[in-house]
Amino acid sequence: MNFYEIKDPYLALIAAEDEKQCLKIYTENVSDVEEEEIFYTEMRTIDKYEALKMVAESNIEDGGKLGVEEAFKQLENLKEDGELLIIDGGLL
């Protein structure tokens, strides 16, 4: 599983097998993508440790942070068909 950070038009962290699956998850859950080439160029592949840090530091409903233990559980139990891990707070 690979981890992709997207910053534009909306922030997202996605776990996916490849870039095409990442695009599919992004368009189904976050936003439409007008220019696929620009999307692929601007997305950033990150390692599992950076993804763990981002998920651990993400905000939860009560205003706190998710934390390392819960983030680790999420990353160890990813769906085979990919998963949206973080979404821009402005979309919630």
Q: DSSP state, 64?
A: S
Give me the pLDDT at residue 69, please: 96
Does pTM surpass 0.75? Answer: yes
Q: Which amino acid is at 63?
A: G
CA distances from 9 to 6, 57, 78 (A): 8, 21, 25
Is the per-residue pLDDT at 32 higher than 80? yes
Is the per-residue pLDDT at 65 higher than 90? yes
- Nearest C-alpha neighbor of 90 from the set 13, 12, 23, 26: 12
Give me the pLDDT at residue 52, please: 97
| Sheet of strand 12-16, all strands in order from the earlier edge strand to the far edge | 44-46, 2-6, 12-16, 83-87
CA distances from 40 to 1, 13, 72 (A): 17, 14, 27
